[in-house]
Amino acid sequence: MEEKMVFDEPYVAHYQYSVGAVGTKFFTELRDNKKILGMRCPACHLVYFPPRATCHRCLAKLDEWVELSDEGTLITYTVVHYSEPVQPQEPPFAYGLIRLDGADTCICHFLGEVDPESINIGMRVKAVFREKGEGNMLDIRYFKPL
Amino acid sequence: MAKRAAIVGVGQTYHKSRRPDVTQVELINEAVKAALDDAQLTIKDIECVLFGNMEECEGSFLTDCWATLGTGAYMKEGCKIYTGGTTGTTAAIAAAQHVASGLFDTVLVAAYEKQDESVYGMEPLGLVPDPLWRRRFRSGAGAASWFARVGTTYMAETGATEEHAAMVRLKADRCACRNPHAHLRLNLTMEAVLKSPFLLYPLRLLYLCPTTSGACALVVASEERAKRMAQKPVWFKDWVIVHYEIEGFEGFFPEGRITSHEQAANILYSRNGITNVRRDIQMAEIYEPATWAELQFSEWFHFAEKGGMWRMVERGATDIEGEFPINPSGGVTCTNPIGCTAMIRVAEAALQIRGDAGEHQVTRDVKTAVATGFGGSFWTEMVLLTKSLD
Amino acid sequence: MNQKVPDQYIKIPHTVRLLYRYAAGPYMARFCKELRENKRLVANRCPRCRRILFPPRISCPDCMVRAADEWVEVGPGGTLLFFAELGRPGIDTRTGEVQELPASYACLIQPDGVLIGQGCFSHWLKVENPEKLREGMRVEPVFKEERRLGTLEDILYYVPVEE
Ligand SMILES: [Zn+2]
Ligand SMILES: [Zn+2]
C-alpha cells in the first residue's frame, strides 16, 4: 500500500471579546457586588438572563435592568463521565440549565457541592460566588442545591 | 421565470477601528435596525434572514446561530454565507436570489466584521490559504506585496506616476470626509500622503485598507411588495460571480489571460446591453483593498480604456462631482470591516441611485450603478443596480 | 437601577488552540514524497490539453477532466516572478506568535518546465545583494539536509543566481 501523507498542524489565535456596554454593567455588578442583573423587554413581558441589549423577538432596544435572585430552579442537567482535553473539569461533573427566580431564560452552568446521583429536575439551586470576582461568567463558580 | 428583487432598506453602523461598547451581536443589530427603520418595517415583516461574516476574524464560529439575537432571525428561515472578502456581495446576491426564486417576499441580509476582537487584527486570516501549499509563505506574497506589484506594473505599463496613486488616495479621503459612516476621515493633503511610509514600494501605509469594526444590512423585497411599500426601490438588474484558478494566480496574472474582473465585467455588460460603460452606468462602488488597485481594477472593469484611468483621475473624473464617480463613500481604503465591506458597496450604490447619499451624493444623475466585491484568492462579484424596473 | 455604564468596557480574552490533520491526497502525496526523498518537484499532466498541473492535482481547471497519472519533473530551480522585502513579520498561525522568517525577502517562483499561468509558488528569498535583484532572474533552492517532512518547507529558501 502507498504511504498516505498527512500533516499535523496546530492552530493558535488570540482573541479578546467585547462584552459591550450592557455586558460591562452586568459583569461589573457581578464582580464587585455579587449582584445578578437581568434585562426586561416590556413589550414581550420577558426578563432575559444574561441581560442583552436587544430583545431577539421584537428587536426593541432594552434598558430596563432587573435585579435577580441568586436562587433558581434546575430545568435540566447532565453528568459528564468521560474526559477530553477541552473539558473545564475532571469527570464526573455536572452541567445544569438554571432559571433564576425572576428570569424567563436559562443559563448553562456547573452544578457543585452535589452528588451526581442525587441531582433531579426541578431542584432548587443557589449561586456560589468566587471570592474575588474577575468580571466573567466564572465569578459564579457553580450552583449548589439549596 | 425569476421574479424581480429590489433593495427597499439600507442600514450601516458608524465604522470604527474599535467598538468595545458593543458585542458582535449588538454591532450587527445596529445595522439591522437601521435597515428596518429605513424600510419602515419591523422584524415581523421579514420572512427570511441571511447573514455573513468572515469567522476567523472573530474566532467565533457558527455566528449564524448565536447572532440570531442581533439579526432578528429568531424563528425565521435563512442561513449564513461566507465567501471571504466577497461575503458582503455574495450575501446581497443571495438575498436577491431568495426573492427571485419566488419563495420569499421580504428578505433581510446582514454582514459584519468586528476586527477589534482579534488581538493581532487580520492575522487569523492566515488560516485561509491552502495548508499544504501556500499557508507558510503568506507573509511573503500576501496581499500587501501583491498590491505593491499592481502599483509597479501599472506605472510601467501606463506611464502613470506615484502622484496618481496619491491623487486617488486624496480623492478617497475627500469622499470619506463627506461620509459620516466612513472609518478613516483624515483631511489629508498631497504632502501628507506622499509622506506616508512605504510598506513595500510603491505601496504606502495609507494605500492599504484599515482594520475596521462595523456592520451593514439590506432589506430586499419582491416586485409586488417593493412597489407597494417603497418610495424609492432600487432594483437588482443583474449580478455575476467569477472565480479564478487559484494555483495559477499567486498574485500573478500572465499575459494573454484575462482576470476575473475583466471576465465578470464582460459577462455583465454584454448580458445587459452595456456598450458604453461610462454612459450606460453612472457611478461605481468598487472593492479596492488598496489605492493602486482602484486604478488597475477600474480598467479591468472598463471604466477607462487600458492605461487611461490615471488620466481620468488627473482631471477629477472619479470625484463626487466628476463625470464617473468611483467610491464616493470613500471606499475600502477608508473603511474595511472585511466580511461586510462588499455589502457596503451595494448599500452605497443603492443610496446613490435613491439620491439619499447625503453629503457624498454624486452630482451626476444615477440611473444605473455597479457595485463589486473582491475575494482574496481572486474572485469577482458584480451587482448591477437600477433606478427603474425595465 | 439607573447607574451609568462605566467608560472602561470589559473584554474577555480567549485563545483558540486547535490541531488539524491535513490529508495530501494521492496526487499531492506523490509530490510530497518526491520532495522529501529526492529533493525533486514533480507535476502531472492533463490528458486532453497536455498542460502541466502544478501543484499536481486531480483535474485540469481548463478542461475539467480527470488528470492523467503521467508525471514530469519540474524545477526545482526557476525564474523570479516577483520579490518583496519583508517588513514586519506576520503571526504564525501554528504558534499564535510572530513568525520567525528564514529570509528577509518573499518571492514568487516560476519553476522550470511550467508555463507562465500554469502554476507558480511563493517562497522565501535569501538575498546578499539587493541591488542586483531583478524580476526574471534565475533562482535556485537550498534544501534542508535533515528531517525533511515532504512540505515546501523542506526547501529552506531560494537564492538568486547572479550572472
Ligand atoms: Zn421584546
Ligand atoms: Zn486540460
Ligand nearest to the CA of C65: 2
Q: Confirm whether A80 is domain-assigned.
A: yes
Contact residues on chain A for B42, CB-CB shorter than 8 A: 58-59
Q: Percentage of chain C surpassing pLDDT 70?
A: 96
Centroid of ligand 1 to alpha carbon of A46 (angstroms): 7
Cβ A8–C20 below 8 Å, yes or no? yes
CB contact under 8 A, A56 and B32: no
Q: How confident is the model at residue B141 (pLDDT cuts 50, 70, 90)?
A: very low
In a domain, A13, yes or no: no
CB atoms within 10 A of CB B255: 6
Q: Which of C108, C135, C157 to mutate to probe the B interface, most B CBs <10 Å?
A: C108
Chain A contact for C15 (CB, 8 A cutoff): yes
* Residue B156: burial class (beta carbons within 10 Å; 0-12, 13-18, 19+): exposed
Q: How far is CA C114 from CA B72, B153, C57, C68, in A?
A: 52, 22, 14, 17
Please state, as a whole number, how many other Cβ atoms lie within 10 Å of the Cβ of residue B76.
Answer: 16
Per-residue CA distances from A40 to A49, A55, A61, B16 (Å):
9, 9, 10, 30
Cell, residue B218:
439590506
C12: nearest CA partner in chain B:
B117
Residues of chain B neighbouring C42 (CB-CB closer than 8 A): none
The predicted structure's pLDDT at residue B136? 75
* Nearest ligand for residue A58 CA: 1
Residues B11, B71 contacting (CB under 8 angstroms): no
Domain annotation covers residue A11: no
Give strand pairing partners of B174. none
Spatial distance between the Cα atoms of B93 and B118, rounded to a whole number of angstroms: 28
Does C7 contact A at CB distance below 8 Å? no
Domain of C133, in residue numbers = 25-160
What is the pLDDT, as a whole number, of residue C2?
Answer: 41
Is B127 within 8 Å of chain A by CB? yes
Centre of ligand 2 to C-alpha A53, Å, is: 56
Scanning every residue of chain A, which has its alpha carbon at the shortest distance from the alpha carbon of C30? Answer: A5
Q: Name all contacts of B82-85 with Cβ < 8 Å and 24+ positions apart.
A: B82/B52, B82/B53, B82/B54, B82/B55, B82/B339, B83/B52, B83/B375, B83/B379, B84/B54, B84/B128, B84/B338, B84/B375, B84/B376, B84/B377, B85/B54, B85/B287, B85/B289, B85/B338, B85/B341, B85/B342, B85/B373, B85/B374, B85/B375, B85/B376
C-alpha cell at A80: 459528564
Q: Contact, B113 vs B212, CB < 8 A? A: yes
Question: How many contacts (CB atoms, under 8 Å) link B and C?
Answer: 104
Nearest to C84 among B145, B245, B254 (CB): B145
pLDDT bracket for residue C81 (50, 70, 90): confident
- Amino acid letter, B341: T
The pTM for the full model equals: 0.92
Please write the tens of the pLDDT for every residue from B331-382.
Answer: 999 999 999 999 999 999 999 999 999 999 999 999 999 999 998 667 899 9
| Mean pLDDT in residue range B26-43 | 97
Residues of A engaging B, defined by a Cβ cutoff of 8 Å = 7, 9, 11, 13-23, 52-54, 56-59, 61
- C14 within some domain: no
Cα(B248) to centroid of ligand 2, in Å?
A: 13
ipTM of the complex: 0.89
pLDDT tens digit string along A99-111?
999 999 999 999 9
Res B273: pLDDT: 97
For B359, the grid coordinates are 453629503
What's the pLDDT band for B139 if we cut at 50, 70, 90? low
Asked if pLDDT for residue C163 goes beyond 80, the answer is no
Could you tell me if residue A54 is inside a domain? yes
User: Does the pLDDT at position A72 exceed 90?
Assistant: yes
Residue B27's contacts (CB-CB under 8 Å, 6 or more residues apart) are B13, B19, B70, B112, B114, B213, B214, B215
Q: B5-119+211-229 has which CATH code?
A: 3.40.47.10
User: Strand pairing of B48-52 and B106-114?
Assistant: parallel
A6-30: average pLDDT: 94
The DSSP H or E segment spanning A129 is strand A124-129
- Banded model confidence at residue B255, pLDDT cuts 50, 70, 90: low
> Across residues B134-151, what is the average pLDDT?
72
Residues in CB range of C142: below 8 A, 6 or more apart = C126, C155, C156, C157, C158, C159
The mean pLDDT value of chain B amounts to 92
pLDDT of residue C100: 85
| C18 at interface of B, judged by CB pairs closer than 8 A | no
A58 C-alpha to ligand 1 centroid (Å): 4
Question: Has residue B247 got a pLDDT over 60?
Answer: no
Chain B residue numbers touching A19 (CB-CB < 8 A)? 23
Is the separation of the CB atoms in B232 and B386 below 8 Å? no
Q: Report the relative pairing of strands A71-80 and A124-129 from DSSP bridges.
A: antiparallel
Percent above pLDDT 70 for chain B: 94
Contacts of B98-104 with CB under 8 Å at 24 or more apart are: B98/B48, B98/B50, B98/B220, B99/B3, B99/B5, B99/B220, B99/B221, B99/B222, B100/B2, B100/B3, B100/B4, B100/B5, B100/B236, B101/B2, B101/B3, B102/B2, B102/B3, B102/B222, B103/B48, B104/B47, B104/B48, B104/B77, B104/B222
Q: Spell out which residues of chain C touch residue A15, defining contact as CB-CB under 8 Å.
A: 13-16
pLDDT in tens, B186-213: 999 999 999 999 888 899 999 999 999 9
**Amino acid making up residue B30:** E
Beta carbons of B145 and C99 less than 8 Å apart: no
Name the phi and psi angles at B298, rounded to 5: -60, -35
pLDDT score recorded for residue B248: 44
Kindly state whether C150 is in contact with chain A, defined as any CB-CB distance less than 8 angstroms: yes
- Residue numbers of C between 90 and 119 with CB closer than 8 Å to A: 91, 93-97
Per the domain annotation, does C101 fall within a domain?
yes
Nearest alpha carbon to residue B243 among B343, B380, B50: B380
- Answer whether B367's CB lies under 8 Å from B388's CB: yes
pLDDT at position B377:
63
Backbone angles phi, psi at B385, to 5 degrees: -115, 145
Instruction: Round to whole Å and give the CA distance between C22 and C44.
Output: 21
Please tell me whether the peptide bond between A92 and the residue prior to it is cis, using omega within 30 degrees of 0. yes
Interface test with C, best of A2, A3, A12 (most C CBs within 10 A): A12
> Largest Cα–Cα distance of chain C, in whole Å?
79
**What are the tens digits of pLDDT across the range B256-313?**
678 889 999 999 999 999 999 999 999 999 999 999 999 999 999 999 999 999 999 9
CB contact under 8 A, B257 and C117: yes
Copy the grid coordinates of residue A98: 438554571
Nine-digit cell at B211?
482594520
Arithmetic mean of pLDDT, B317-331: 98
Whole-angstrom Cα distance, residue B362 to residue B367? 12
Question: Which chain A residues are closer than 8 Å to B74 by Cβ?
Answer: 56-57
pLDDT value at B63 more than 90: no
Per-residue pLDDT, B2? 84
Does B251 or A30 have the greater pLDDT score? Answer: A30
> Does B118 contact chain C (CB < 8 Å)?
no
Minimal Cα–Cα distance from A126 to chain C, Å?
Answer: 23
In this prediction, residues C38-65 reach a mean pLDDT of 92
Domain with A119 in it: 20-145
Whether B200 and C55 lie within 8 Å, measured CB to CB = no
- Quote the cell numbers at residue B355: 439620491
What pLDDT, on a 0 to 100 scale, did the predictor assign at position B129?
77
Other chains touching A, judged by 3 or more CB pairs under 8 Å:
B, C
Mean pLDDT to the nearest integer, C90-101: 86
Predicted confidence at residue B1, as pLDDT, reads: 61
The alpha-helical segments, DSSP class H, found in A1-146 are 20-33
Number of C-beta neighbours around residue A34 at 10 A: 15
For residue A25, give the chain B residue with the closest CA: B21
What is the whole-number distance in angstroms between the Cα of residue C67 and the centre of ligand 2?
8
What mean pLDDT is reported for chain C?
89
- The packing angle between helices B143-158 and B291-300, to 10°, is 60
Is residue C96 over pLDDT 50? yes
B118: nearest CA partner in chain A: A15
B204 CA to middle of ligand 1, Å? 48
Min distance B40 CA to chain A CA atoms (Å): 14
Residue A75 — pLDDT band, cuts 50, 70, 90? very high
Give dist(CA A112, CA A95) in Å, integer.
Answer: 9
Q: Which-ligand-closest: CA of A64? A: 1
Task: Give me the number of domains chain C comprises.
Answer: 1
| C36 to chain A: closest CA residue | A5
Closest ligand (CA of C64): 2
CA of C161 to the centre of ligand 1 (A): 70
Rounded average pLDDT over C47-53: 92
Nearest CA in chain A to C26: A4
Cα C74 to averaged position of ligand 2 atoms, centre (Å): 18
| All structural domains of chain B with their residue ranges | 5-119+211-229
Q: Rounded to an integer, what is the distance from CA A86 to the centroid of its chain?
A: 17
Q: Which of B187, B127, B386, B377 is nearest to B272 (CA)?
A: B386
* Residue of A11, A18, A21 lying closest to B116 (CB–CB): A18
Please report the number of interchain residue pairs, chain A to chain C, with beta-carbon separation below 8 angstroms: 106
Asked if residue C136 is part of any domain, the answer here is yes
In the prediction, which pLDDT does A4 show?
83
| Rounded distance from Cα C65 to ligand 2 centre (Å) | 7
- C92 min Cα distance to partner chain A (Å): 8
